[in-house]
Chain A
Amino acid sequence: GENVEQHPSTLSVQEGDSAVIKCTYSDSASNYFPWYKQELGKGPQLIIDIRSNVGEKKDQRIAVTLNKTAKHFSLHITETQPEDSAVYFCAASMFGDMRFGAGTRLTVKP
């Protein structure tokens, strides 16, 4: 089955700096790669996603890249703000089956 690895497990940045989180997946059949943000006591919230036929997608301060050949994808957050502090999860999905990375705890220091 699909296996998703996520790095780093923790990330601390200064407000205004950029943050990058990287994931790799094992199943070349996966065709959908979402990113979720989870705040304390809440469910994961979809913040951006990328499909297998696209290499890059951007939404304001957030961008995702996908390298299908290498089977890795990344989340880039620019101009980080304290409210970006949360746990971020990557995931890979093929049809109904979705597997999550272990998560990255991002801390943005004011």
Chain B
Amino acid sequence: AQTVTQSQPEMSVQEAETVTLSCTYDTSESNYYLFWYKQPPSRQMILVIRQEAYKQQNATENRFSVNFQKAAKSFSLKISDSQLGDTAMYFCAFRIAGGTSYGKLTFGQGTILTVHP
């Protein structure tokens, strides 16, 4: 079974500063995908960034980047130049590639991020 752990229940950051959210996972699979999702107060989950386990290069999407350490099973999210609109719950998620798991995403417990003006 796969598990995803987010050890920071809450984080806060000042506007324009940088913040890093932590995520570790446990799996015996070698091929998988990792995701960071954002859930603002509107409740709609939005994909922030995706990383394929077979790629060594860390994914980046504008102000969002990840630090993927496969051996350590670590997948942290860095948000640069934080904006008020980044305030949300952030979830780290894991999905096995192929096999019978199909659409199943395994989520961490989430980190509430608050950006202060």
The answer to whether A and B come from one shared complex is no
Residues in B lying within 8 Å of A, measured CB to CB: none
Residues in A lying within 8 Å of B, measured CB to CB: none
